[in-house]
Structure 1
C-alpha cells in the first residue's frame, strides 16, 4: 500500500515521505510504496526464526575525521571506494482480489439478467513492483536496507553495479520499529563498505548520498549534516541524521557516507511538499542500524531491553519542581507493576539522569539506550529524587515478554498455538499511516506472521487489522487476556484491504 507519514511539526501540505519508489513511468510526487518482507522468511515482517547464521565480518573504521585539512576539489576517490557497495533493490508482490459478478457487470446488478447469481469468477492476481537501494556491509553478502522497501514483497532482487548482475535476495529479517531490514545474497567478490561511528559525526560534516533515485541508476549527491537526533517521524526508535544532500524516491536504503567513504547512515525519508527533494532528508545512524542488523542475524528478531516506565521530557517549567539547574533528563510519569523498574525501586517523579554511565538528555535518548541494552543484565541508573541523587541497579527484562508471560497463565493454553505466531501492535496514528488504515478503524494491527503457522494458513497477513476475536472487540493487548479460547476454533473479524472480512483459525491443525 502507498502511504504517507505526516509530521505534526509541519504544515498539512508537508509530508515525511519514505523515499522508495514505484517501478513505473510518471511517478506521482509524494506517493510512497510500502512493501514488506519476502515470503521466503519463516516470519513475514520481518523477523525470521533461523538463528544459526554466520555473524557478519564487518569492517569498522572509527578513526576521527580530519576536519582541518586542505580543501578538497573532488570526491571521486571517495565515490570510487564507496559506490560499488551500494546496490539497487527491486521488489515484487502479488495479491489477489476477487471480483464479484456484480462488480464485473453492473447491468446484471441493476436489471437482474440471468446468471447474476452464478459463482464469482476466479481471483485475478495483481503484481505490485517497487524499488529502493541497499548497502553491502560484509563479504558474506549481508545487505542493509529499509524495512519499508521490502515490506510485503514476495520476491526481492538485488542488482550490483557496475556490471548490473542480478541476485535473488533472501530476507534475513526486518524491524518496523526502526525501519531497518537485512538481506543476504550468495555471491563472490563483493565489496562491502566500511562502517563508521555515527556518534562521531558532527553538524557541518560533508556527506554523500548514494542510491538509485527514481530508478535512473546509481546516483551520488553531496551535502552536509544539517542536524542530529531528529525524531517524530512515526517510528518507535528514532535518532535520525538530517542532511541536505539530495534524497529522492528510490534512495531508501541507500548509503550516507562521510568524506572518508565510511557508512554513516541508511537514507530513509524526506520532508517534502511535493514528494521530491527539498533539501531535508533523514538517515538512520549506522550505529543504530548495525545493532538492529546484528540482532536480526543472531536471533531472527530484535531483542530489546525492557524497563517498564512511562517517561516524558523534563520541560523547563518543571525543572524547578525537581531542583534541577539543567533542563535535561527523563521524568518518570508512571511505573509498570511488577516491572524491572518497580523491582529496582524506581518511582513516579524520579528523574533519570544517567543510564549505564551515559547522560540522559531526554525521554527519546533513554528509550534508545534501554532498547539497545541486553535483557538480563544489571545496569546502573542515576536518578534524582526530591533533590537527592540515587544510584539504582536495574536488571532489564525483554521487551514483549510481560504480555506473553501473563497470557500463558490466562487460559488453558490454546491461544499459544496461534497468538505466538503473530506480532500484534495497537493501532496508533503512525501505524495507521504506515499500513494505510483509515483513522476511524481501531484494533490490533498484524506486524508479522510466522509463515506456515495456523494464522498464516488462515490467510492472516501483515497489515491486517484484528478488530474482533470470537465476536469480542479487541483494542489493546490487554484485551486478549480476557478472552476464552477453549473452543476448537477462533473466529476473527479483520480489516483487510479496505473492507471487513471474517477468518476462522482451527486450533487442532498442525502449524
Structure 2
C-alpha cells in the first residue's frame, strides 16, 4: 500500500500570552511529563480472523459443488488483519477498546509502545450497543500502569484534550485539540453520548485514549466523520464515565445489564409540540407503552412527555434511553411527566432490558382487485384484511388503515411514511378503516397528527399540508 507523506512548511503565528505563576520562567508550556506518564497505559490491539474464499471465480455456487471442488480443489484460507488501540484500565491486565476493533476476530493480541513483545488477549465481553469491548491479558513479569478516570460529566466545550493511539500503524502518536461538543448522537451506536473533538483521530486510533491535561481518561476514541477516511477535525469518543460503567458490568457479569422502562419514545419536534400544545420541546415523547412493562404498571400513558428522571432533566428521547440504560434492574425511579399540560410525578421500578429482535414488515405492492382509497397527502389506504396482515406482519388485534402506496415527492413521502405502516389515529381520534382514514384526511384543515404503527412500534408523526389547505 502506497502512503503519501505530505510535508508542510512551519509558519510562526502570534499566540496569546499564557498565564504563568509569578516565579515561572519564560520557557514554553509543555505537556511532556503528563504524556510520558500516561503513554504506557495506551496499547496497540492486533486482531486477525480467518476468511475462506466463497467459491471458484466464474462459477456461482461452486463452494457447495463437490464435483467442482474435487476438480479445482478447496479455495485457500486467507487471514484478515486489523489494528486498533486500547487503554489499560486495571493493573491486573484489563484493557478497554472498541468492539469494532476486535469484532469477529479469531485471535487478539496486545502490544506496548516500548517493545515488540505481544500478549495474547482474551475477549472478556463486548457491547456492540456502545461499541465497547473489554480484553484481558496476562502481563507476566511486566508491571502495568492503569489509567486514571476523569468524571466526563464535568467535561465542557473548550477543554484541552489529547488523543493517544496508533494511527495507520505508524506507532504510538499523540495529538492535541479541544472538546468541540458534548452529548453528541450521530447514529453510530444504539446508546450514544459522544464527546466531539478536533484532536486528530485516524484509522488505528479506535479504542485509544482521549485524556485531559492532567492525563485522566475522558473518553475512548471511537469514530470520525470524513468522506476520505482521514481526519478532518470531527472525531468522537465514548465518555469515560459511560465506558467505566460498561466495563464494570462486563468484568463483573460477563455482559452489560441495563435497566428497562418499557416505553417507545421519540423526540418532541416543533410540529409535535405545536399540535399537542406542549410547553417546550424538551423531554421524551411517549409514543406507546409496552404491555406489562414497568411504565405501564406505573401508569405512564401514550402522549405523556417525560421531562425528568429523579429530578435530573431529560433533554430528549436519546438522553432518556441513555439514562435508563445506565441504571440497574430493580432500581426505583421517579419520573416527572407532562400530561394534558400539567406536570405529574410517577414512580416506576425498572426491569432487566429484554433483548428482542425487531419485526420486519414484508413489503409489497397493492394486489389487483383489492379495495383501496386514495387519501389526501399522497397515500393509498386499505382496510386491514388477513392477506395484508400476513404480508406486512400486522398483529391480529391491531385496527386501523394500512398504507399500501406512498406517492413519490408527496407530503407523506417527505414526512417519512412508508408502505406497510398502519394509521391508528388521526388528530387524536382512532380510525379503523381505509375509508374512515381517507375521509378524516380529506376533511381536516391544517397540519395532521398521525398515530402510526410500524414494525411493532407505535409513534406519532406530524404532516404539514400544502399552503392553503
Q: TM-score range by the shorter chain?
A: 0.5 to 0.7
In structure 1, the residue matched to 2:161 is 207
CA contact (8 A) 2:83 2:169 kept: yes
- The correspondence for 2:115, drawn from 163, 176, 179, is 163
Matched residues, number: 345
| Structure 2 counterparts to residues 11-410 of structure 1, below 5 A | 25-26=1-2, 73-100=29-56, 103=59, 118=70, 121-187=73-139, 188-319=142-273, 324-400=278-354
CA distance in 2, matches of 1:221, 1:118: 54
Deviations 1:428-470 (A, max 9, x none): 9xxxxxxxxxxx9xxxxxxxxxxxxxxxxxxxxxxxxxxxxxx
Shift of 1:205: 0.4
In structure 2, the residue matched to 1:509 is none
CA 318–76 in structure 1, closer or farther in 2 if over 3 Å, else same: same
Shift of 1:427: 8.1
CA 153–69 in structure 1, closer or farther in 2 if over 3 Å, else same: farther
In structure 1, the residue matched to 2:409 is none
Q: What residue ranges of structure 2 are gaps of 5+ in the alignment? A: 5-17, 364-389, 397-469
Deviations 1:145-201 (A, max 9, x none): 000000010000100121333110110011111000000111141011100010000
| Partner secondary structure for residue 272 of structure 1 | coil
Shift of 1:97: 2.8
Shift of 1:393: 1.1
Shift of 1:234: 2.7
In structure 2, the residue matched to 1:470 is none
Deviations 1:279-310 (A, max 9, x none): 11000001111111111111111111111111
CA distance in 1, matches of 2:334, 2:44: 44
CA distance in 2, matches of 1:102, 1:349: 57
| Partner secondary structure for residue 163 of structure 1 | coil
CA RMSD of aligned residues (A): 3.1
Shift of 1:321: 5.5
TM-score normalised per structure 2: 0.68
Q: What residue ranges of structure 1 are gaps of 5+ in the alignment? A: 1-24, 29-66, 110-114, 404-423, 429-439, 441-472, 480-511
CA distance in 2, matches of 1:381, 1:333: 16
| Partner secondary structure for residue 225 of structure 2 | strand
CA contact (8 A) 1:101 1:120 kept: no
CA contact (8 A) 2:167 2:205 kept: yes
| Partner secondary structure for residue 368 of structure 1 | helix
CA distance in 2, matches of 1:119, 1:86: 50
CA contact (8 A) 1:142 1:184 kept: yes
Larger radius of gyration: 2
